[in-house]
Amino acid sequence: MTTRSRQPKPFTIPLTELEQSAFCQTGSELRTKTLAEEFNAGVTWQKVPIRYLKLSPDEISEGIADAKAELGKDLTILGHHYQRADVVQYADFRGDSYRLSQMAANEREAKYVAFCGVHFMAETADILTSDDQAVILPNLAAGCSMADMAQMEDVQDCWDDMSTVLGDQGEVVPVTYMNSAASIKALCGRNNGLVCTSSNADAAFTWAFERGKRVLFMPDQHLGRNTALKMGISEDDMLVWSPFKPLGGHSPDALRRAKVILWEGHCSVHTRFTADQIADARKSYPGVQVIVHPECTRETVDAADYSGSTETIVRMVTDAPAGSAWGIGTEINLVNRLAQENPDKKVFCLDPIVCPCATMYRVHPAYLLWVLEGLRSGIVINQIQVPQEIAVDARVALERMLDLQA
């Protein structure tokens, strides 16, 4: 049996990854500026009508309040934890991608769901809501650099290669992290796989190993590795699949031996956290407890006291006793909010550089106002619509995930 012969592809870094550090700064305050000023950050922004560029925070706030009052129950605004405070304040519900996907699945009343998050989340909401509900992403340039590291044609090539080498595709269960395009979720749905989030990756791995011998995990190698290690799988039984090399950079024998095949993707926000930062935090705050997101590297997770999903981080810090100190390895907007909401505790970000997720940060409040004012005038701007043939299979993979928690 031979693999298809393909030329190595040129190494291509997604634009979203190259732009990831655009909003990083050494000061500790992340202040929303007018959209015109933020356009200077040098990232790709969606064009908006000129009047939104110079609006002051008060004008934006007034406009959003008016639109929300007029649209009433026809509108639900979902806000991801990593959104800036100036956007999250308008959300009817906030959560991580798992929680928000559950909310989208249960939301039956609103005609419009404005999703303040990134593109793959809005796609997921569109798949899980009914056909007569419109899901809106305020800024279409709000993608995710990790999701962009797994392009559908590369994933399909990988799947075909594995089929050729391993023969029976039933041996490999494809599992994709929520942070991936709908087309990749659909591939998982079609091939007896499922979606997972960082809240349920352990359960997804268990589900997959009950049905096959190997897991192909996409696109975050770190979440996949950290989850497999927790299950007692040795790193020797894992390999990292490079989409830029024939057969992912491995021999057919190595592929046959692997239990977990990790896609070569990562989160540019969470891989900033290091074991050295944790050592510094322990020196500065004796007794500090350190919790990091499992998208961090293995070394960082090993050096921390805990690792857990965004919702786990929120819960642990909120439930912690007064006077405790928490060093956190996750997105800065959430860490700042936790610090503000827990004034009786010391809550700080492990990374001294203030570095928000640059794609999440593109949902400036002026964009939210723009799409809401569109709805007031009967125009749906930036609707996310997943083609039916993709949505059907992706829904299967998502529902398998939602059933894991039932």
Please compute, for residue 300, the number of CA atoms within 13 A of its CA located in the half-sphere on the CB side: 25
- Binding of ligand SF4 at residue 179 (CB under 6 A)? yes
**Strand ranges for 27-165 from DSSP E:** 75-80, 93-95, 112-116, 134-136
- Binding of ligand SF4 at residue 19 (CB under 6 A)? no
- Binding of ligand SF4 at residue 359 (CB under 6 A)? yes
Q: Which of these ranges, 252-260, 263-271, 337-345, 385-393, lies near ligand SF4 under the rule CB under 6 A?
A: 263-271
Residue 114: closest CA among 65, 142, 71, 78: 78
Least Cβ distance, residue 398 to ligand SF4 (angstroms): 18
Complex with ligand SF4: residue 313 or 360, whichever CB lies closer: 360
- Binding of ligand SF4 at residue 357 (CB under 6 A)? yes
Q: Which of these ranges, 5-13, 142-150, 208-216, 222-230, lies near ligand SF4 under the rule CB under 6 A?
A: 142-150
- Binding of ligand SF4 at residue 373 (CB under 6 A)? no
- Let me know: does 194 contact 400? Beta carbons within 8 Å: yes
Residues 6+ apart with CB under 8 A from 387: none
> Which residues share a beta bridge with 349?
328
- Let me know: does 98 contact 88? Beta carbons within 8 Å: no
Complex with ligand SF4: residue 43 or 267, whichever CB lies closer: 267
Single-letter amino acid code for the residue at 123:
E
Least Cβ distance, residue 121 to ligand SF4 (angstroms): 8
Judged by DSSP in three states, 336 sits in helix
The maximal CA–CA distance of the chain, rounded, in angstroms, is 66
- Binding of ligand SF4 at residue 191 (CB under 6 A)? no
- Let me know: does 128 contact 395? Beta carbons within 8 Å: yes
Complex with ligand SF4: residue 64 or 332, whichever CB lies closer: 332
In Å, how far from its chain's centre is CA 182?
A: 13
- Binding of ligand SF4 at residue 360 (CB under 6 A)? yes
- Binding of ligand SF4 at residue 67 (CB under 6 A)? no
Residue 242 CB neighbour total at 10 angstroms: 18
- Let me know: does 177 contact 218? Beta carbons within 8 Å: yes
Span 112-141, contacts to ligand SF4 by CB under 6 A? 118
Among 269, 371, 390, 397, interactor with ligand SF4 by CB under 6 A: 269
- Binding of ligand SF4 at residue 238 (CB under 6 A)? no
Residue 170 to residue 163: CA distance in whole angstroms: 9
Complex with ligand SF4: residue 38 or 331, whichever CB lies closer: 331
- Binding of ligand SF4 at residue 201 (CB under 6 A)? no
Residue 250 to residue 169: CA distance in whole angstroms: 18
Least Cβ distance, residue 362 to ligand SF4 (angstroms): 11
- Binding of ligand SF4 at residue 146 (CB under 6 A)? yes
Least Cβ distance, residue 20 to ligand SF4 (angstroms): 7
Q: Supply 50's token pair.
A: 């000129």
**Given the rule CB under 6 A, which residues bind ligand SF4?**
82, 118, 144-146, 179, 267-269, 331, 357, 359-360
